[in-house]
Structure 1
Amino acid sequence: MKQAVEITAAAATQVKTMMKHNGEENSYLRVGVQGGGCSGLTYSLGFEKEPRESDIHYEQHEIPIVIERDDTAILEGTVVDFKQSLMGGGFTIDNPNAIASCGCGTSFRTDKKVGTPEVCE
């Protein structure tokens, strides 16, 4: 199965830490897209106990990953990384399909899917 999203080693380390801290060691990492944000789409990362029938699933860095089949075209080639700095750390998502992003830095749109824009506060 082709992997739509790449999880870097740094992101994998952080995900494993979060899984252990939250008691989610036997869960899947769900990477997804949902409507919202200033540009229409936002990313979602979370844990799920079981994949859905409509998911694709694969494993990277010993982390089982699930993605809704309908989201794969939007996420194809996306890289999820984790950056640490003096101000703290956070996940970064680099999606080559995003043609515009919000000034807030939390939402995007693609040429094939605009989503449902909201007003930024």
Structure 2
Amino acid sequence: MSTTIQAISISETGALKAQEILERSNKPGAGVRVFIKSGGCSGYQYGMAIDDRELEGDTIVVDRGIKLIVDRMSIELLQGSQVDYVENMMGGGFTVNNPNATSSCGCGHSFRTDGKNAETGGGCGSH
């Protein structure tokens, strides 16, 4: 029996919070779009949005009852990642645990990979 790694997954805590948000969105069939954009202090930034569209080339994964949507440009950098929700003294928010990130910014919202660095500037305050 072989084990295949999902393109992207969501933690139990992340799924519970995402379900709450999706229910309030009033968009039947919507999912969580996870994407990468250039910027941030380490080269790339994570982004997430509620989306009820599926575009050509999107990767769709349903994990723990949550539809995760990733565009074709972002999937390579997100392969094997897990979306999570964490709460700490500064509040709460979604985060991405990305095995492809070789370094990340102190704020946890941007990252760098070997050989695939976006040469855009910006600090942690620029998200």
TM-score range, shorter chain: 0.7 to 0.9
Following superposition, the deviation at residue 86 of structure 1 comes to 5.4
Match of 1:108 in 2: 111
Whether the 8 Å CA contact 1:5–1:78 is kept in 2: the answer is: yes
Following superposition, the deviation at residue 78 of structure 1 comes to 0.9
Structure in which a larger fraction of residues adopt strand: 1
Aligned partners of 2:90, 2:61: CA distance in 1, in Å? 33
Residue ranges of structure 1 left out of the alignment (5+ in a row): none
Q: Note closer, same or farther for the CA distance 1:70–1:87 as it changes in structure 2 (3 Å cut).
A: closer
Aligned partners of 2:6, 2:30: CA distance in 1, in Å? 18
Given candidates 55, 65, 71, the residue that maps to 1:62 is 65
Identity of aligned residues (%): 34
Matched, 1:27 2:30: yes
Under a length normalisation based on structure 1, what TM-score does the superposition of the two structures give? 0.87
Residue ranges of structure 2 left out of the alignment (5+ in a row): none
Aligned alpha-carbon RMSD (Å): 1.9
How many residue pairs get aligned? The number is 121
Secondary structure (helix, strand or coil) at the match of 2:73 reads helix
Following superposition, the deviation at residue 113 of structure 1 comes to 1.7
Aligned partners of 2:10, 2:51: CA distance in 1, in Å? 17
Secondary structure (helix, strand or coil) at the match of 1:70 reads coil
Whether the 8 Å CA contact 1:82–1:92 is kept in 2: the answer is: yes
Following superposition, the deviation at residue 12 of structure 1 comes to 0.5
Q: Partner amino acid for 1:80? A: V
Under a length normalisation based on structure 2, what TM-score does the superposition of the two structures give? 0.83
